[in-house]
Structure 1
Amino acid sequence: MGGRMSTEASSRPTQLERRARTRDALLESAARGISRYGYGNLVLERVANDAGYTRGALYHLFKDKEHLTLAAFEWVLQTWDREVGRAIELQSDPVAALLTLARCHAVFCRRDIARMAVALRLEFSGQDHPVGREVERNYELLVRHCVRLIKAGRRAGAIPPGAPARTLALAFLGALEGTVIELAGQAPHDERLAARAVAGVLGLDPLAATRH
């Protein structure tokens, strides 16, 4: 009997595990809410209710909406890194890496949390706000990553010369975001056409998107 009770006790989630589960549920709910309604229209009580918790549980973990939003944004970035970033890292060829970014990002954007970054960039554009600064800082990191891949592709002769690499990187990301936003809910066309759209921006044969 003692052994069975010991096993049952050890199988129960610990306080830290319960706290982590609560935190993740609230972060996902906040990311979903910001993707749908924006930061200004985010209601913390609704975030808590949608996650299955009380507003008190939310305030126990996050002191205010800004703190919650920054944590939710970091959670979304970590999710993106797992689902998109790792796939990019597996590509040794820079063109293949850029096209993988486009395809995997399109798949990621089928999730109901995926528009959080775009929503926050638009809402805080031109404002000096901690959330806006953090979003722009991470967007700049993505731009620089694309710049490095574009330069590597040009050195290899796979991407033709033309506009400055940073200009091309911005156009690449703009074409990608525009395509996945307009084609929301239209899988699998969103993935294929996102890859073709960025291939065109890079000066590649759009059919190259199907060969990488």
Structure 2
Amino acid sequence: MTVTARPEGTRRTQTERRARTRSALLEAAARGLSTYGYGNLVLERVAAEAGYTRGALYHLFANKEELALAVVQWVEETWDAEVGRPAAELTCPVEALTAVARNHAVYCRRDVARVMMTLKVEFAGQDHPVGRALARIRDRLVADFAERITAGRGSGAIPPGPPPGELALALLGALEGLTISLSGHAPHDAELAERAARGLLGLPPAPEGHR
């Protein structure tokens, strides 16, 4: 029996098509989760809004839980690319934390930004894979914020105050709440997010023209 190898171009096209389908479904699911929550999410509606059939969705995701976990990972990856990594390149802790505040506000201008907060509220107090994934992300961000706060206090750039871990939790909570409340109010959302961050850190507002 002779097996004919599939042309490399065909495999690449199929891989690209699968990636486009997956991306469209994740974005539609993120919008749906932001609007309806996990419990009220209808997979058929997600598929239709993405422009695909229910079969295409189930070909990539076994069930709602797997889809939601993939959405959480997708949001984490896009947030890291647009907010986390640019801030990580800044050596000054104050600049890094205020950059996170401003860039987080910009990231939250899109219609998928509420998904993490919506899921966090829905799964609060529950031992569920989606809740555990959200807790892992929260713990990672809090640890990163706390490390920068500690470094800033060590250099004198950030004044003494509450323990770094508690301040980091407050900073994360403030940014989440503020940017959701001010969604659609650009450019004031980014400016006020930075003000909130500087205020919690015990810093004066940034001078005009510094931003």
Q: Same fold (TM over 0.5)?
A: yes
Using the TM superposition, give the Cα deviation of residue 56 of structure 1 relative to its aligned residue in structure 2, in angstroms.
0.6
TM-score, with length taken from structure 1: 0.92
Q: Which amino acid aligns with 1:37?
A: Y
Equivalent residue, structure 2, for 1:6: none
Report sequence identity in percent.
60
Number of aligned residue pairs: give it: 204
Equivalent residue, structure 1, for 2:202: 203
Q: Which amino acid aligns with 1:106?
A: A
Using the TM superposition, give the Cα deviation of residue 12 of structure 1 relative to its aligned residue in structure 2, in angstroms.
10
Q: Trace 1:1-212 onto structure 2 (pairs within 5 A).
A: 10=9, 14-207=13-206, 211=210
* CA distance, structure 1, for counterparts of residue 140 and residue 59 of structure 2: 32
Gaps of 5+ in 1: 1-8
Q: Which amino acid aligns with 1:59?
A: Y
Relative distance call for 1:42 and 1:29 in structure 2 (3 A) is same
Equivalent residue, structure 2, for 1:5: none
Q: Deviations over 1:93-138 (max 9, x none)?
A: 0100000000000000001111111111100000111111111111
Relative distance call for 1:72 and 1:111 in structure 2 (3 A) is same
* CA distance, structure 2, for counterparts of residue 26 and residue 208 of structure 1: 43
Q: Is the 8 A contact 1:146 1:169 kept in 2?
A: yes
Runs of 4+ deviating beyond 4 Å: 9-13
* CA distance, structure 1, for counterparts of residue 53 and residue 110 of structure 2: 25
* CA distance, structure 1, for counterparts of residue 208 and residue 89 of structure 2: 17
Instruction: Let me know the Cα RMSD of the aligned residues.
Output: 1.7
Q: Deviations over 1:174-204 (max 9, x none)?
A: 2211211111110000000000011000000
* CA distance, structure 2, for counterparts of residue 74 and residue 202 of structure 1: 29
